[in-house]
Amino acid sequence: MNSLYWIALNSIWRKEITRFLRIWIQTLVPPVITMTLYFVIFGNLIGGRIGEMNGFSYMQFIVPGLIMMSVITNAYTNVCSSFFSAKFQKNIEELLVAPVPTHIIIAGYVGGGVARGVLTGALVTLISLVFVPFEVYSWPIIVCTLLMTAILFSLAGLVNAVFAKTFDDISIVPTFVLTPLTYLGGVFYSLSLLPTFWQWVSKLNPIVYMINGFRYGFLGITDVSLAMTFSTLGLFILVLYIVVWRLIESGRGLRS
């Protein structure tokens, strides 16, 4: 990589990471508190009544899904809010006229989203240790699923930010699309509990594959094949990257 391009990429990364760390009370604390409430309510209070799920306690079963839910939400939100703020304040125009390739701009913002997603996931994992013992079936699966999911939703947040025209627009997708898909993605239940028809319907939800892949890394159990998990993640990353690249290259919604 050209040294000048590396300086540009490193500058965007540092700006993005410094941005969410500077306001850590708003960016890192709320998801940790929310997930702690999930652990207490669903794990301790309700989990005891549910019993085991696929040979594990209910708390152990839901922990990977809750970690992944925090990663998805924070990776998406970080990129979407940061890029839209730069667009709203006209700062993005300075970046567009600079001799910086589009893929460097994308990598810079996505890197910031991945950093926040992974850091939040790590904090939620530490909180989970208070409630359940830490089990790892496969570190490579955990790392690959975590990074690919964070990259995917960072790219998705970038798409939302490009099309958004007001600050209200950046909350529409998380509220009406991301949240329902996440809750229906198998965080709190196994697909095997559903009737056959609804199992097939659930498999149309891409988040099902991410959560199950991550759960396999921790517990060694999954409702879908790992090949399908990584194929789905890879395909969505490729498609979203092409979409984002074309949008930024054309200046769609970015140039006045």
Q: What's the rounded mean pLDDT across residues 200-205?
A: 90
35 pLDDT more than 80: yes
Q: Predicted confidence band at 121 (pLDDT cuts at 50, 70, 90)?
A: very high
Asked whether residue 7 is assigned to any structural domain, the reply reads: yes
Q: What's the rounded mean pLDDT across residues 55-63?
A: 87
Contact 154, 236 (CB under 8 A): no
Asked whether residue 256 is assigned to any structural domain, the reply reads: no
49 pLDDT more than 90: no
Asked whether residue 219 is assigned to any structural domain, the reply reads: yes
Q: What's the rounded mean pLDDT across residues 3-7?
A: 82
Among candidate residues 47, 221, 45, 237, the one with its CA nearest the CA of residue 159: 237
pLDDT of residue 67: 94
pLDDT of residue 256: 54
d(CA 62, CA 64): 6
pLDDT of residue 1: 59
Q: What's the rounded mean pLDDT across residues 23-38?
A: 90
d(CA 149, CA 210): 7
Virtual torsion, Cα 115, 148, 236, 198, nearest 10 deg: -110
Asked whether residue 225 is assigned to any structural domain, the reply reads: yes
Q: What's the rounded mean pLDDT across residues 211-221?
A: 93
Model confidence over 224-255: pLDDT tens digits? 999 999 999 999 999 999 999 999 888 776 76
Asked whether residue 163 is assigned to any structural domain, the reply reads: yes
Model confidence over 63-112: pLDDT tens digits? 999 999 999 999 999 999 999 988 888 888 888 888 888 999 999 999 99
Asked whether residue 147 is assigned to any structural domain, the reply reads: yes
pLDDT of residue 73: 93
8 pLDDT more than 80: yes
208 pLDDT more than 90: yes
pLDDT of residue 255: 63
d(CA 149, CA 10): 22
pLDDT of residue 192: 86
Q: What's the rounded mean pLDDT across residues 188-209?
A: 90
Bridge partners of 57, per DSSP, are: 52
pLDDT of residue 70: 94
Contact 20, 27 (CB under 8 A): yes
DSSP line for 38-86 = HIIIIIIIIHHHH-EETTEEHHHHHHHHHHHHHHHHHHHHHHHHHHHHH
pLDDT of residue 165: 85
Give this prediction's pTM: 0.93
Among candidate residues 40, 32, 130, the one with its CA nearest the CA of residue 73: 32
- Which range of residues forms the domain containing residue 183? 3-48+55-250
Q: Predicted confidence band at 172 (pLDDT cuts at 50, 70, 90)?
A: confident
Asked whether residue 255 is assigned to any structural domain, the reply reads: no
48 pLDDT more than 80: no
Residues written for the chain:
256
Asked whether residue 179 is assigned to any structural domain, the reply reads: yes
Q: How many domains does the chain have?
A: 1
